[in-house]
Amino acid sequence: MSTLTITTIQSNLIWEEKSANLRLLEKKIVEIEEKTEIVILPEMFSTGFSMNPELLAETMEGETIEWMKRVSRENGVVLTGSLIIKEEDKYYNRLVWMLPNGQFGHYDKRHLFAFGEEDKHYSPGNKRLIASVKGWKINLQVCYDLRFPVWARQAPPAAGSAAGTGVEYDILIYVANWPERRSHAWKTLLCARAIENQCYVIGVNRVGSDANNIYYSGNSLVIDPLGQVLYHMADEEDVNTITLQKEVLEDVRTKFPFWKDADQFNLQ
């Protein structure tokens, strides 16, 4: 059966220092010893969660995108994480899914964190991005999106479909800068998304304090389709590689075909 090996990078970030963060993260990627296929970085990995897009935004031809292309190519991995992008006089918290051949997709964060005034500086996205690797389908989302289950919900397959047939995705990934003071919600909601969507869920968060004295405890997680935690790390920088088994996913969906009873709906 198909496997997929993924590396999560839970890192401290240097506040609004792009070049320093890129050097730091590249060193961590180069030092990965295991053979891996996907490397996941936190939200706004080149700057930290900044509300200064006018000073920090790049284009899709900018330094960080070029860095992602090079690092992905040189290390033979899919590289993903979000950064600040300017496009047509608007700013986006944009997750980029970079392939080793230089092709990429992107997802603009749908739910902007009004509590932190993100909505005053950035524009929301309106389309989901579901990538494909080795037959695995991967739904890519950003931080605050986690609180809105409809945006992540699997659209159930047509009646009579075999287990998993037509299910939208197999893995749900959240990249984040999620503060420690709300870490209980982070951990609880990640498990809930795995259980309700019968998929693997991966949450990659940063650690350390930012310039606003907000502390991030990490609590990066990998969770199986039954909601069992396969990996968890709090408060420390960590680079972790894990191999996911498609057979486990399909076995859960076959033995517990709860997806058959889901409500039909369409996301607009």
Structure confidence by residue, pLDDT tens digits, 136-154 = 999 999 999 999 999 999 9
Query: Cα dihedral angle (8, 32, 80, 1), rounded to 10 degrees?
Result: -70
Catalytic annotation, pick one of 143, 180, 187, 191: 143
**Cα(first)–Cα(last) distance of the chain, in Å?**
35
Read off the pLDDT band of 64 (50, 70, 90): very high
- Is the model's pLDDT at 90 over the cut of 90? yes
Read off the pLDDT band of 261 (50, 70, 90): confident
Catalytic annotation, pick one of 43, 58, 118, 180: 43
Read off the pLDDT band of 266 (50, 70, 90): confident
The yes-or-no answer on residue 90 being catalytic is no
**How crowded is the C-beta side of 81, counted as CA atoms within 13 Å?**
33
Q: 159 or 19, which is more confident? A: 19
- Is the model's pLDDT at 159 over the cut of 70? no
pLDDT at residue 164, rounded to an integer: 47
**Could you give the CA distance from residue 208 to residue 206 in angstroms, rounded to a whole number?**
7
Q: 196 or 159, which is more confident? A: 196
Query: Which residue ranges form the domains of the chain, and what is each CATH number?
Result: 3-258 (3.60.110.10)
pLDDT digits (tens, 9 = 90+) for 118-132: 999 999 999 999 999
pLDDT at residue 205, rounded to an integer: 98
The yes-or-no answer on residue 43 being catalytic is yes
Read off the pLDDT band of 1 (50, 70, 90): low
User: What is the pLDDT averaged over residues 179-208?
Assistant: 98
Catalytic annotation, pick one of 109, 180, 187, 191: 109
Print the SS3 string covering 184-253.
Answer: HHHHHHHHHHHHHHCCEEEEEECEEECCCCCEEEEEEEEECCCCCEEEEEECCCEEEEEEEEHHHHHHHH
- Is the model's pLDDT at 264 over the cut of 90? no
- Of the given ranges (59-68, 137-146, 154-163), which has the lowest mean pLDDT? 154-163
Taking each helix axis as running N to C, give the angle between helix 63-75 and helix 18-30, from 0 to 180 degrees, rounded to the nearest 10.
Answer: 10
**How crowded is the C-beta side of 180, counted as CA atoms within 13 Å?**
14
The yes-or-no answer on residue 143 being catalytic is yes
